[in-house]
Amino acid sequence: MDCLFCRIIESEIPSKRVFEDETAVAFLDINPWQCGHTLVIPRRHVADALSDPTALTEIAPALRQVGTLLQDKLGASGFNLLSNVGADSGQEVFHLHVHVIPRYADNPGIAHMRGEITDDLETIHRRITG
């Protein structure tokens, strides 16, 4: 099976990791909707959030850790957590991932979930991991 996110886990494809534990890896989305937009994925291959009974639970601690990191390092004051299931929902990578989209007080509300990004990924990664 040739899975992009399995290859990211194996570091065969580079990514900007911000967090990892025994069950999950978190890295910056390459096409962010907000500054610090992060994907949290299980280390084991699971197609989507509804195809496995425990995968979402397994990555819940990592989701919380990433949320805390984005609050502490970037000043996020809210989050949209989003996991697309199936091609018709817009899912493009068929390895379960939860989008952790940090939100900021100066641009609130779900209508503005897709915002403007001014910083490049390198700069954002340094701010989170530095």
48 lines the binding site for ligand AMP (CB under 6 A):
no
The closest residue (CB) to Zn ion is 3
Given candidates 84, 98, 124, 128, which one binds ligand AMP under the rule CB under 6 A? 84
| Window contacting ligand AMP (CB under 6 A); options: 18-26, 73-81, 83-91, 112-120 | 83-91
Residues 6+ apart with CB under 8 A from 3: 45, 93, 94, 95
Cβ proximity to ligand AMP, 30 vs 81, nearer residue: 30
Annotation marks residue 97 as catalytic: yes
Cβ proximity to Zn ion, 45 vs 112, nearer residue: 45
Give 110's DSSP letter. Answer: G
Q: Residue 71 corresponds to which tokens in the numbers above?
A: 């609050």
β-bridge partners, 81: 100
29 lines the binding site for ligand AMP (CB under 6 A):
yes
Nearest to 69 by CA among 12, 21, 110, 127: 127
Chain positions contacting ligand AMP, by CB under 6 A: 4, 13, 15, 29-31, 39, 84, 90-93
